[in-house]
Amino acid sequence: MHVLLNLVLFQVAWVVTVAGAGAGYWWAGLAATAALGAIVFRLSPWPRTDFTLLCVACLVGVVVDSLYVQAGLLRYAEPVPFTGLAPIWIVAMWMSFALTLNHSMRFFKGKPVLSAIFGLVGGPLAYWVAQSKFAAVEFLWEPIWVYGVLGVAWAILTPFLMYLATSWLPRFDPAPAQ
């Protein structure tokens, strides 16, 4: 799949998801993720790996963002289906992110320090934009602490997910025999 197309489609899905949540349309994230997934799976040379990563990211997103809610760090707009757990729209965002790992994010493969720095900066930045521009999330702790927790989490999870993307490719989508 073309790297630029994947990047643009992910950014569109991100905006639709976050803007939708902030405006009360929690389902917009599901629709955006489904559209992104349909295109990625149609064009990807690694559909099984992408699907496996999507499933893992879904589980990670449920756990991590539910922990944020349970710790009283964040409160999400449109907390569907339960107020004490990660909302569907943020889990959809994790799934969309997974669909970039073998495509527009592949630059970070084999570069754990660089991907950790990307996560350290990019994770909190995404939540800041979701909070300040779209009212999709509310910070319940002092912002510096929220950014710190988010930064550490994403600095760990980004290289972890990149590692899975790299190591699972030959397992789930082996190169064709020549």
Ordered per-residue pLDDT tens for the chain, 178 residues: 589 999 999 999 999 999 999 999 999 999 999 999 999 999 999 999 999 999 999 999 999 999 999 999 999 987 788 888 999 999 999 999 999 999 999 999 999 999 999 999 999 999 999 999 999 999 999 999 999 999 999 999 999 999 999 998 878 777 654 4
Instruction: Provide the pLDDT for residue 48.
Output: 93
- Measured at the CA of 9, the angle between CA 6 and CA 14, to 5 degrees, comes to 120
CB 158 within 8 A of CB 123: yes
Using DSSP's 3-state secondary structure scheme, residue 116 falls into: helix
Cis ω for the linkage preceding 47 (within 30 of 0)? no
Domain ranges of the chain: 3-170
- Record the pTM: 0.93
What's the CA gap between 90 and 65, in Å, rounded? Answer: 8
